[in-house]
Structure 1
Amino acid sequence: MRRVTKVAASGIASAALALSLAACGSTSEQKAQADSSSSGTGAAGGVKVGVAYDVGGRGDHSFNDSAARGIDKAKKEFGGSVKELTAKTTDTEADRLDRLSQLAEAGYNPVVGIGYAYANSMKQAAQKYPDTTFGIVDSSVDAKNVDSIVFTEEQSSYLGGVAAALKTKTDQVGFIGGVDVPLIKKFQAGYEQGVHDTNPKIKVDVQYLSHGSDTSGFASPDKGQAAAQGMLDKGADVIFAAAGSSGSGSIEAVHGKKGAWAIGVDSDQYQQASLAQYKTSILTSVVKNVDVGVYDLVKSIHDKKPLTGTNTYSLAENGVSLTASGGYLKDIQAKIDAAKQKIVDGKVKVKTTP
């Protein structure tokens, strides 16, 4: 098992093949149809990459877009071609397996599943196509030809909680989770701990948009907006949404209340062009560099040294971080840096469950 020891930040913007999201309400089904035909041809001998996105797909301003940046960087550097498919909220296990199998059968290598939902289907696909290297983000799959790309989301979420606690004026903040699953619970746990370690008197409102196998909570901006509005109406003035494209709805709601702050997730949402009209309300973003993990995998295939095993991207290695775009953290940056150092030094152990 290999552990990543050095992770460099990657900021390559999405290339021309990016599917732009015209409106927050675009469905994952519509994007699935468009993404399924997205491909590019690069230099001869380049890497042929197959990507199976989570619901929301490329253009979600968050999790999937972070992965897309890694794909775009790799294609720019190594040439080759890219085939992108996107999950639907109605997917079954058979649908996910079929998506991965389509890519492997067509000769794409690596085949990357973006999201924990691909774990079971990827294990089956890896056995079926032993000569293909697979990659999965946010889950560990025990197979000799799989690179499991995982992050310490709870650590960067802790820093987001510190920021929320230092910025709230009402002593009430909110957390919105896309789906009530262990992965998103890590975000909640870190955020709540960061808030309460900073000021135990602060109340944290928590709401999930969907549960269990229903993944619509990651692709429903209207649900995110309604949840955030409800929290704002009850007095919350800082809201962190770990909910994929649903988070854009939360950010929109926060922007409508003077003095309130939104905390973005996975991508630096202050820098997202599609969210530019709301950026004065985006305090910071809890980032995990999915782009780096995906790029590392593609590069390893290009170098003919495929990554396999579980590769962990942590706060100490800049695999996760808290952004400073907009300059809204300047007055509290020293305290955030101190909290980060305590985590890196092992003086603070961040919980992974609430």
Structure 2
Amino acid sequence: MKRILTIFSVIFALMLIVACGNKPATGEQVKDGKTFTDSTNSKKSVAVVYSTGGKGDKSFNDATFRGLQKAQKELGISFKEYEPKDPATEAKNALTQFAETGEFDLIIAVGYTMKDSLVAVAKAFPDQKFAIIDETVTGLPNVASILFKEHEGSFLVGALAGMMDKTGTIGFVGANESELINRFYAGYAQGARYVKPSIKVLPVYIGGSNSFNDQASAKAKTETLIQQGADVIYHAAGASGLGVFQAVKEKNVYGIGVDSNQDSLYPGTILTSMMKYVDNAVFDVIKTTAEGKFEAKVQTFGIKENGVGTTDFGFTKDKIGEENIKRLEQIKQDIKDGKIVVKSSI
């Protein structure tokens, strides 16, 4: 009798092994014949398609990368990246390839030039969550839009430029004449005229198919501004801004950085940088997605939301002076309190 029970026990155990071998592992599900990991029991994963210039631009893309690194460190996420040479032609394919895998909890498109591509891919993959930076997408339940009030941060650096100007003329170098870049110029001009109503604010634009990564053109156009008397020059041109800084350094005038802290590139020459805290916004949208709280809404970050600001003047405090810094802090507070209203266009 014991021998019979033993045989039955062995047979039963073999049946269990076979049955378990045909089931997906814990945390996995089978759909359409394919096994995939249940995101509630796995490490969260994010994909990003960068804007023109990619990582190393010391600006917009690098700020995005810092947000990813922070999420990796604090939230334990993993991420994959794609750096297109031309987002207008490569973005759709890159976004599609990421979406097709089905492995990402969130796919981030960096920059307004990707809007059309993102919309097309988001419609094709309605169950995939997306976020786009610097552009508004409405009507799609799987896309979050992240915007910034660049004009408010630019007002601050424009006010500083007005305080530091000696010639009565300052300059602005934009990548192109898009609505986004014009927000930078509008705030900069308003800030400068707030402290010095008679000041001239001269804008130039790089243009072309590579406007965010054309240092040679940026340098040449900056030199024309300096020839016209501009002694403080602010750029909103991504990696092209490195050419702006070369020119201001050589001609011994001041520059102002953008998006990331660029002050250390040319210490003492770059007065400050208009900080656009893309890293914080990227971290926030990853965090809410990881927590299952993703919302397909438009989020706008200004001074009040700590989305834009200036650096702490680590290399230029003595040049700017305590009085000017205090005045700038008051201007910042007045914008936050609504006493100063900055227009997004002029």
Matched, 1:198 2:178: no
Secondary structure at 2:238 match in 1 = coil
Aligned partner letter, 2:249: H
Instruction: Please give the TM-score of this superposition, normalised by the length of structure 2.
Output: 0.83
Unaligned 5+ runs, structure 2: 1-40
Query: Aligned equivalents of 1:245 and 1:145: distance in 2?
Result: 31
User: 2:305 is matched with which residue?
Assistant: 317
User: 1:35 is matched with which residue?
Assistant: none
Per-residue CA deviation, residues 178-229 of structure 1 (Å, 9 max, x unaligned), is 1210000000000001111111211111001006xx3x11011111111111
User: 1:307 is matched with which residue?
Assistant: 295
- State the 1:90 CA deviation: 7.3
Secondary structure at 1:280 match in 2 = coil
Matched, 1:249 2:238: no
User: 2:11 is matched with which residue?
Assistant: none
Q: How does 1:26-175 map to 2 (within 5 A)?
A: 45-89=42-86, 91-92=88-89, 95-106=90-101, 107-142=103-138, 143-175=140-172
- State the 1:327 CA deviation: 3.8
Question: In the superposition, relative to structure 1, how do residues 73 and 298 fare at CA in structure 2: closer, same or farther (>3 Å)?
Answer: same
Per-residue CA deviation, residues 89-139 of structure 1 (Å, 9 max, x unaligned), is 3733xx322111111112222100010111121112111112211010001
Query: Aligned equivalents of 1:314 and 1:91: distance in 2?
Result: 27
- State the 1:353 CA deviation: 1.4
- State the 1:285 CA deviation: 0.5
Query: Aligned equivalents of 2:192 and 2:86: distance in 1?
Result: 32
Q: How does 1:219-298 map to 2 (within 5 A)?
A: 219-258=213-252, 260-271=253-264, 275=265, 278-298=266-286
Q: RMSD in angstroms over aligned alpha carbons?
A: 1.5
Query: Aligned equivalents of 1:307 and 1:224: distance in 2?
Result: 39
Greater helix content = 2
Aligned partner letter, 1:71: L
Give the conservation status (yes or no) of the 8 Å contact 2:87–2:113.
Answer: no
Give the conservation status (yes or no) of the 8 Å contact 1:47–1:301.
Answer: no
Instruction: Please give the TM-score of this superposition, normalised by the length of structure 1.
Output: 0.81
Question: In the superposition, relative to structure 1, how do residues 353 and 253 fare at CA in structure 2: closer, same or farther (>3 Å)?
Answer: same
Give the conservation status (yes or no) of the 8 Å contact 1:158–1:190.
Answer: yes
Secondary structure at 2:245 match in 1 = helix
Greater RCO, CA 8 A, separation 6+: 1
- In the alignment of these two chains, the number of paired residues is 300
Unaligned 5+ runs, structure 1: 1-43
The percentage of aligned residue pairs carrying the same residue is 38
Give the conservation status (yes or no) of the 8 Å contact 1:45–1:79.
Answer: no
Secondary structure at 1:307 match in 2 = coil
